[in-house]
Amino acid sequence: MSFRAIRAIKTDAGVTTELVTLTDSDLDIGDVTVRVDYSTINYKDGLAITNASPVIQHYPLIPGIDLAGTVEASDNADFAIGDKVVLNGWGLSQTHDGGFAQKARVPAEWLIKLPAGIDTRHAAAIGTAGYTAMLSVLALEHGGVTPDSGDVLVTGANGGVGSVAIALLAKLGYRVIASTGRANEADYLTALGAAEIIERDTLSQQGAPIASERWAGAIDSVGSHTLANVLAQTRYGGVVASCGLAQGVDLPGTILPFILRGVTLAGIDSVNAPKAKRIEAWTRLARDLDLSKLETMVTTVNLEEAPDVARSIFAGQIRGRTIVDVNR
C-alpha cells in the first residue's frame, strides 16, 4: 500500500525536502510496522531539516525524531497489532527513516507501549521535548532536590522542553522560576505554573565564576554562558540538568560551583537512553503531567507544512509543542 512522506535529499545545492508517495517496499528495516498518527517538531528536527548540524547521516532519508501510532504488523512477540506506541530518538532522522511519514518500520526495541491515559496525540504533544523534560525532573529527584529544597529554574522556558518542565515541576509542588527572552509570553508561562519570570539576558552574558545562591536546581536547554551562569548561582548541593544547546555547545565557566558548593551537573541524553529509563519517564508523564496544560502548549500542522515549521525553530518563533498530523 502507498503512503505519503517527507523525504530529505542532498544535492550540490544543499539539503532540500520533498513530499513523496512511497510503498511498503520502501520501508526501512525493522520488525514492527507502525501506522503513524502523529510526529512532532523539536529543535533537533530543525537541525536536521536545515542541515545546520549533520544529524542526517545518509540521504535520502525521512526526517522526524518522534512518532506515535498504532502497530500494523509485528514479527516481535512484545508487540501485537493494535498496540498504541511511541518512539523518541534512537536512530530516527539520523540513520533510520523517521516520523514525517504515514507509516514506519522500526526495530521493536525502540518502541514504548503507551501507558494508560495517554493516547497517540498526547504522546506526540509530549514528544522528545516533553520526554526530555521528564528525564530532567527525574535527575533532580535522584539528586535529592525536593520542593522543600528551594526554587527550580527552567531556562528556554517558552520552548517544548521548558514548557513541559514548568508544568511538571509545578504539579509536583516546586516553585518554578522561568527564564525567557519573550516577556510578552509571561501569561503563558504563569498559566503553566511559573511563579517568577526572569529575563534571559540576565543569564546569557558572561558572568562571575560563582555568584549569590538563587536556586536549588535547574533544567537548562540553552547551554553556553547561560548554563555557566546557572551553575554559578545554584545553591549548595544543588542539581542542574543539562539537556540542550540553543545558545551553544560550549561551557565557559569554572569548576568553582562544583568544588565550593558541591553542585551536580547531570547530563540528559534522550536519544539513546535505555528502555527501562524511558518506561519510567513515560509512566511518570502519565501520572504527573496535567494534560489540560499540555493542550495549551500545542499547535498542529500538516505533513506538508512540517519542513517550513522546522526551519523556523531557530528564529525563536515556536512556543510550546508542535504536532505534525501526518494524515492531514
Sequence ranges of the domains in the chain: 2-113+295-325, 128-267
- What pLDDT was estimated at residue 182? 85
- What pLDDT was estimated at residue 185? 87
- What pLDDT was estimated at residue 51? 87
User: Which homologous superfamily is 2-113+295-325 in?
Assistant: Medium-chain alcohol dehydrogenases, catalytic domain (3.90.180.10)
- What pLDDT was estimated at residue 317? 67
91-141 pLDDT, tens digit per residue, is 999 999 999 999 999 999 999 999 999 999 999 999 999 999 999 999 999
Beta-carbon count within 10 A of 15 CB: 16
- What pLDDT was estimated at residue 229? 98
Please determine, for residue 296, whether its predicted confidence score (pLDDT) is greater than 90.
Answer: yes
More confident residue, 315 or 292: 292
More confident residue, 185 or 188: 188
- What pLDDT was estimated at residue 169? 98
- What pLDDT was estimated at residue 24? 97
Please determine, for residue 305, whether its predicted confidence score (pLDDT) is greater than 90.
Answer: yes
In angstroms, the CA 184 to CA 260 distance is 37
**Residues 217-222, mean pLDDT to the nearest whole number:** 97
**Residues 230-241, mean pLDDT to the nearest whole number:** 98
Residue whose cell numbers read 513515560 = 282
Please state, rounded to an integer, the average pLDDT across all residues of the chain. Answer: 95
**Residues 1-22, mean pLDDT to the nearest whole number:** 93
Selection from 267, 155, 250, 261 nearest residue 213 by Cα = 261
Q: At the topology level of CATH, where does 128-267 sit? A: Rossmann fold (3.40.50)
pLDDT band for 54, please (50, 70, 90 cuts).
Answer: confident
